[in-house]
Amino acid sequence: MSQALTIAITKDTSTKAVAKLIASTSPRALGEVVWPPALDLTRRHLITYKNKKNFPSQGFGEQLADKSFGTATDQGAKIVVNGQGARLLFEGGVVKPVNKKVLCFGITADSYGKSLPEMYGGPIPPRKQRTPEDNARLKALRKEFAFARSVTIQPHLDLLPTSEEYREAAVAALKLAIKGGFN
């Protein structure tokens, strides 16, 4: 035995509600929910970033955190870390001198983040004008620094949170938004 049912729609009250639900799940709408906690995660991670040799912090991570921002896009959420050296450190690459013949960088905890003139206490006199005391100070300081025509930086993928950490932050934000209802 079979029964036939006829359904007639006499008044459409669901189209607007369905359209609102679909709009609330667009990539941009989801990005609006996700980018604030993803930015917070990024900033907290950058602030705790330590250099590989555990030398005293020069505030690099904190500077990157301060220069980071987020936004929603048509594809979802976007986090931008807008600090000098961030891309090079994250992706790796080669550093070459721009205005000098060689790079000079601190290799001890005392010299890390400082220049040779800073450690010397002022401008370094030209060779012909140096006293024996100047030469002795410079010789001692050279043990604090390394000199190179270029330096290859290996990728530091730990500069940013992992994909899993971002995923967890996004899911938590979306669950909270679903509980509270999308606006």
For 19-73, what is each residue's pLDDT tens digit?
A: 776 777 888 989 999 999 999 999 999 999 887 777 888 889 999 999 999 999 9
Closest Cα partner for 105 from 54, 61, 151?
A: 151
> Alpha helix (H) ranges present in the chain?
15-24, 27-47, 60-66, 86-91, 116-120, 132-141, 163-180
pLDDT for res 9? 57
Write down the domain spans for the chain. Answer: 16-92+156-183, 94-153
- pLDDT category of residue 101 using cuts at 50, 70 and 90: very high
Average pLDDT for the chain: 87
CA distances from residue 7 to 4, 11, 14, 117, 175 in whole angstroms, order as listed: 10, 12, 15, 87, 36
pLDDT for res 2? 43
Cα angle: 60, vertex 61, 65; to 5 degrees: 120
Cα angle: 54, vertex 55, 61; to 5 degrees: 80
**Does the pLDDT at position 1 exceed 60?**
no
**Does the pLDDT at position 6 exceed 60?**
no
